[in-house]
Amino acid sequence: MKIRIKGNSLRLRLSQSEVSLISRQGKVVEYIKFPDTTLTYELISHPGNEIEAAYVMNKITVSVPQNILERWSGTDEVGFDSHISINDHESLYILVEKDFKCYVERGEDESDLFDPPS
């Protein structure tokens, strides 16, 4: 799972095996280690109706309703998004999408990525 953070937006991109994992087990977790700490980021399924996000103790958690994940994982749908209110003037934009192979070879292993849409 790849993470991209810019301003008040958070984007998660999942490979084929990660999409399969979230639909089967309800959770995908990744880590990035720093010399003095580890940042964990995870996508989890929950039974609610809203996409939620939290940052607690060096862990970013994006929680997505199970019905959204089931629909998304079983179709050609690229992704889904949500704006989560932070306060009266700000929101956090969440985008979760399937990760596609690049059109130009970059020397990376893309064998587990989705074929780009036509």
- pTM for the complete prediction? 0.91
Asked if 118 and 34 touch (Cβ cutoff 8 Å), the reply is no
Give me the residue spans of the domains in the chain: 2-98
- According to the model, what pLDDT value does residue 100 have? 87
List pLDDT tens digits, range 52-92: 999 999 999 999 999 999 999 989 899 999 999 999 999 99
d(CA 89, CA 87): 6
List pLDDT tens digits, range 99-111: 988 877 777 788 8
d(CA 45, CA 62): 9
Determine the average pLDDT of the residues in 27-36: 97
Which of 56-87 are b and which e, b meaning 16 or more Cβ less than 10 Å from the residue's Cβ?
eeeebbbbbbeebbeebbeeeeeebebebeee
Asked if 112 and 2 touch (Cβ cutoff 8 Å), the reply is no
Distances (CA, A) of 106 to 18, 99, 102: 21, 15, 8
Question: Token digits for 94?
Answer: 């969440």
CATH for 2-98 (3.40.50, 2.60.40, 3.30.1360, 1.10.3720):
3.30.1360
- According to the model, what pLDDT value does residue 114 have? 85
